Chain A
Amino acid sequence: MEIAGLLANLGLGFAVAVSLQNLLWCLAGAVIGTCIGVLPGVGPVATMALLLPVTYLLPAEGALIMLAGIYYGAQYGGSTTAILVNLPGESSSVVTTLDGYQMARQGRAGPALAIAALGSFFAGCVATVAIALAAPPLTRLAQQFTPPDYFSLMTLGLVFAIVLARGSVLKAFGMVFLGMLLGLIGTDVNTGNLRYTFGISDLFDGIGFMPLAMGVFGVAEIIANLTNPERAELASSKLSGLLPTREDMRRSIAPILRGTALGGLLGILPGGGAILASFSAYTLEKKFSRTPEKFGTGMIEGVAAPESANNAAAQTSFIPMLTLGIPSNAVMAMMIGGMMIHGIVPGPQVMEQRPGLFWGMIVSMWFGNLMLIVLNLPLIGIWVRLLLVPYRLLAIAILFFCCIGVYSLNNSANEVLMIAVFGLFGYLLMKLDFEPAPLLLGFLLGPMMEVYMRRTMLLSRGDPWVFLQRPLSLCFLLLAALLLAFVVLPNVRKAREAAFHE
């Protein structure tokens, strides 16, 4: 790829990202992300869902920069809670509790936090460059996609979401199908026929993405969290000696590099993301270590690798969303929601039509990472204080913001009623051990797939074999079939279960 073009693009992005307004939105995203990252039980998906209506008031650049900041900010904040309190603030920092908390108990919380932040920063910088390098060629490839290619790529994305979902594969299948079916509710755009509307006029335009996301992720989580409120006990409030020793640094360099590389790769996979990356990086580090039996007793490698990996993956998971317009996880689904609010159709054309937005967002990620390291290290004491706010009060605030947020979108009280319905529905799904993320992806991709299926059939004059005749489409479908075959094989299934249970 031409270096000059890359530099010109990054320069354009730099110009957008350093505007005072956008720097402020980036800071806002990073701060909010850190807060919710520190708080267990409040995740980035729910927060982004909450803030989507607010982003309606911002310019598109500011909105997306802030939303992105929330996601990678949460990765930083999550590690703070994991190390100091032994509670993962985010699900992606579960493995950090293993060694990070042990280090804190030995009075070495400072070095653990510093290495986590430095590793995250390094990974964030590398991932930013990776996005800038990978986006243009992928976008060029995507521009040659025909309708059957898109259809098959989306199928592949859904298969990835199923394979990588926690728990039962069959249930993940069910969630994808159900999500797609929910996505079809409303007026069929091609024929004008109504589907599953029961004569309710609020359903003629379909179920809104926002009420569904806020209900299933926001309200349902409040119900679940109120049932068993977790009490945070500060393990070691004394934070003496932030700086890691030279020995710590030396031992962390290789794990940070490996974690960044592995996390960056896993982030690009559709359905991948920060959680998978941190687990795999920890396992990999154990394999590389000469003293694997010492993991879990406060090894700095066990903090450095997963923390770098989750941040790298959090950022590279933007690649499929930015270049192909396909959400690879629930967070990216929120980003797509944010784009659609501003009338931007996600896909390869974004880079050409809105270069300022595209490159500005990428460069802002680097700024965001810089702000996060400045925010996190000296201010850790303040973030930890946040844990003192009891969930019984947070619940009240979160529910209110859910209600007013959905109401403000269309000034429609009926959409608020919908989040009540989806909240209960989401709680039911949780109880039955269904994961809601594949549902949301199916909901977003279902209607798109129908459009591409119809275009394909029209172009091929009703011949369905065209899906297997186009080389790209055939590749995607073969890959999807291969993945599914793998999950059904017993050996792989056991390994997958082990990876999720560690």
Chain B
Amino acid sequence: MRMRSSQDIAAGLLLLAFGLAGLWIGADYPMGTAQRPGTGVLPHILSWCLVATGVLIWLKAGLAGSPPLSAWAWRPAIMVTLATVAFALLVDRLGLVVSMIVSMTFTALGTPDTRWREYLMFALLMLGLGVGLFIYGLGMPIPALPTGYPWK
């Protein structure tokens, strides 16, 4: 069953899933009248279009074949996501410096050819730039360092 890993079969299924979810969640949105189309009109049309497109892509891939999925870049994907999430969760609680250090280290962990000494120098440069430009320069209302009891 090599077909299963085909790129376009996955692509078709993705659109199909979005379309079905759109229909299912939007099932009770009011349709209104022809003169005053309601909340549900466009979501319904678009969801059906997504279902149709998804099925067509799927069928076409099944009949004509499509290139196999290339390997996933798990490490960069996970680490870059963690870096972003870490920044989001920490910046209000622990301030800019801590969130930057954690976030930048995650990015560096996701990079295949990180050189740690070079990273250290660059991270210090970025910290200076971040605090100098965004807190002192632009006056953004974020603390630079943790204040009080961040866990409360």
B30, CB-defined interface residue at 8 Å: yes
- Residue numbers in B under 8 Å from A178 (CB-CB): 15, 18, 50
Inter-chain contacts of B114 with A (CB < 8 A): 392
**Could you tell me if A431 and B103 are in contact, using CB atoms closer than 8 angstroms?**
no
Interface string of A404-420 (1 = CB under 8 A from B): 10011001011011011
Does B107 contact A416, Cβ atoms closer than 8 Å? no
B38 CB contacts on chain A under 8 angstroms: 191
A133 → B minimal CB distance (Å): 38
- CB interface residues, A 173-198, toward B, < 8 Å: 173-174, 177-178, 180-181, 184, 188, 190-191, 193, 195-196
What number of A residues sit within 8 Å (CB to CB) of B?
Answer: 63
Cross-chain contact B11 with A433 (CB below 8 angstroms): yes
Asked whether, in the complex, the Cβ of A399 is within 8 Å of the Cβ of B25, the reply is no
Binds B, one of A37-45, A253-261, A290-298, A449-457: A449-457
User: Could you tell me the distance in whole angstroms from the C-beta of B120 to the nearest C-beta in chain A?
Assistant: 12
- The answer to whether A458 and B88 have CB atoms under 8 Å apart is no
Q: Which residues of B contact A457 (CB under 8 A)?
A: 34-37
Return A222 CB to nearest CB of chain B, in Å. Answer: 6
CB-defined contacts of A190 to chain B, threshold 8 Å:
39
- Contact of A184 (CB < 8 Å), options: B7, B42, B138: B42
Which of A226, A449, A463 meets B80, CB within 8 Å?
A226
Contact yes or no, A417 B83, CB < 8 A:
no
- Is A73 part of the contact surface with B, judged by Cβ < 8 Å? no
- Asked if A57 is at the interface (CB within 8 A of a chain B CB), the reply is yes
A480 vs B122: C-alpha distance in the bound complex, in angstroms? 51
B14 close to chain A: CB less than 8 A: yes
- A396 and B73 form a contact (CB under 8 A): no
User: In the complex, what's the smallest C-beta–C-beta distance from B124 to chain A, in angstroms?
Assistant: 12
Instruction: Give the interface residue-count category, chain B.
Output: 35 or more
Query: What are the interface flags for A456-474 relative to B under an 8 Å C-beta threshold, 1 for contact and 0 otherwise?
Result: 0110011110000000000
Which positions 4-47 of chain B face chain A at CB distance < 8 Å?
7-8, 10-11, 14-15, 18-19, 22, 25-26, 29-30, 32-39, 42-43, 46-47
Check B112 against A229 for contact (C-beta < 8 Å): yes
C-alpha spacing A196/B42, complex, angstroms: 13
- Where chain A touches its partner, the secondary structure class is helix
A416 touching B35 in the complex, CB below 8 Å, given contacts A178-B18, A424-B77: no
Query: Does A434 contact B11, Cβ atoms closer than 8 Å?
Result: yes
Within 8 A of B (CB), among A258-316: none
Q: Is the CB of A454 within 8 A of B81?
A: no
Cβ of A146 under 8 Å from chain B: no
Whether a CB of chain B sits under 8 angstroms from the CB of A171 is yes
Residue of chain A at shortest CB distance from B42:
A450
Residues of chain A lying within 8 A (CB to CB) of residue B83: 399
Within A159-182, the residues touching B (CB, 8 Å) are 168, 170-171, 173-174, 177-178, 180-181
Cβ of A184 to closest chain B Cβ, rounded Å: 6
Q: A189-224 CB contact bits vs B (8 Å, 1 = yes)?
A: 011010110000000000000000000000100111
Separation of A457 and B31 alpha carbons in the complex (Å): 13
**CB within 8 Å for A396 and B107 given contacts A408-B140, A457-B36:** yes
CB of A88 to closest CB in B, whole Å: 21
Contact assessment for A453 and B34 in the assembled complex, using a CB-CB cutoff below 8 Å: no
Of the residues A174, A226, A416, contact of B53 by C-beta under 8 Å: A174
**Of residues 85 to 121 in B, which have CB atoms within 8 Å of A's CB atoms?**
85, 87-89, 91-92, 100, 103-104, 107-108, 110-115, 118-119
Give me the 10 closest cross-chain CB pairs, A-B, nearest first: A462-B34, A416-B88, A462-B35, A227-B73, A420-B84, A226-B76, A432-B11, A193-B39, A403-B87, A174-B53
With A181-B22, A400-B103 known, 19 other A-B pairs at CB within 8 A are A168-B8, A170-B53, A178-B50, A181-B47, A181-B50, A184-B43, A190-B39, A191-B30, A191-B38, A392-B108, A392-B119, A399-B83, A400-B126, A400-B130, A404-B134, A411-B140, A413-B91, A423-B81, A432-B14
Q: List 9 A-B contacts (CB under 8 A).
A: A177-B49, A178-B15, A181-B18, A195-B43, A392-B119, A399-B107, A411-B142, A417-B84, A454-B36
* Residues in A lying within 8 Å of B, measured CB to CB: 57, 168, 170-171, 173-174, 177-178, 180-181, 184, 188, 190-191, 193, 195-196, 219, 222-224, 226-227, 229, 390, 392-393, 395-397, 399-400, 402-404, 407-408, 411, 413-414, 416-417, 419-420, 423-424, 427-428, 431-434, 446, 449-450, 453-454, 457-458, 461-464
